[in-house]
Amino acid sequence: MKAYVDRFAWEYLGDCPEGQLLLINGKNIWDQKWISTNGKIIEEDPLYHQEHSFSIYIINNDDGTEIKFAACEYSNCYWGFYEYVDRSK
């Protein structure tokens, strides 16, 4: 069972000023409609190692699947992102 639990994880995707190109599965995050899941995760920013509360969102992929990610505005118009990944792929 442990292997299945470790299969899915939140991985750091990146950070950037609002509107700057940031790709998730080949899609610019800023060009997508973010759909809130009302979920939250607590993660640490990789630079200052401070914990932040990230809101969880999904966006629709062209093939009908969903892409799950978490976003947090670290400071005014500067965002951090984590991606929910399947490590078996």
Residue 35 has pLDDT above 60, yes or no: yes
Residue 60 has pLDDT above 80, yes or no: yes
Euclidean distance between CA atoms 55 and 72, whole angstroms: 6
Q: Which residue has the tokens 């932040």?
A: 52
Euclidean distance between CA atoms 65 and 35, whole angstroms: 13
Phi-psi region of 53 (alpha: psi -120 to 50; beta: other; left: phi over 0): beta
Apex 66 CA angle, 24 and 32, nearest 5: 50
Q: Residue 80 in contact with residue 22, Cβ under 8 Å?
A: no
| Residue 40 vs residue 64, higher pLDDT | 40
Residue 81 has pLDDT above 60, yes or no: yes
- Give mean pLDDT, residues 54-80: 94
